């Protein structure tokens, strides 16, 4: 039961970060875009660090099975972090949003 709760909380956290990125992409206020992008990027980096730690511990302990879902979580975290950083950089480079 604890494993299912961890997975569900992780999915919920990823969805919140993705929603923050969508919200940041649609807002016209530059400062809000930057703030929301930083918050989402920090959440996705922390989530990626958590899942990479879990993956490394499973490998060190020799727990068998497929790591497909752990790698999928790492890829999703990496893609989300890249999205957040691109949105952050475009927000920082623009003088004013033309949205």
CB atoms within 10 A of CB 43: 21
Domain coordinates in residue numbering, the chain:
14-22+35-99
What is the reported pTM? 0.80
CB 85 within 8 A of CB 48: no
**Any long-range contacts for 60-65 (C-beta under 8 Å, 24+ apart)?**
none
Range scoring the smallest mean pLDDT among 2-11, 35-44, 57-66, 75-84: 2-11
pLDDT above 70: residue 98: no
């Amino acid at each position: 039961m604890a494993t299912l709760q961890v997975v569900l909380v992780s999915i919920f956290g990823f969805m919140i970060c993705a929603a923050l990125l969508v919200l940041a992409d649609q807002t016209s206020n530059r400062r809000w875009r930057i703030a929301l992008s930083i918050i989402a990027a920090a959440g996705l980096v922390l989530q990626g660090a958590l899942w990479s730690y879990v993956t490394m511990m499973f490998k060190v302990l020799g727990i068998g099975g497929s790591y497909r879902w752990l790698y999928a979580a790492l890829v999703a975290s990496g893609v989300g972090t890249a999205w957040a950083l691109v949105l952050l950089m475009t927000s920082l480079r623009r003088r004013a949003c033309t949205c």
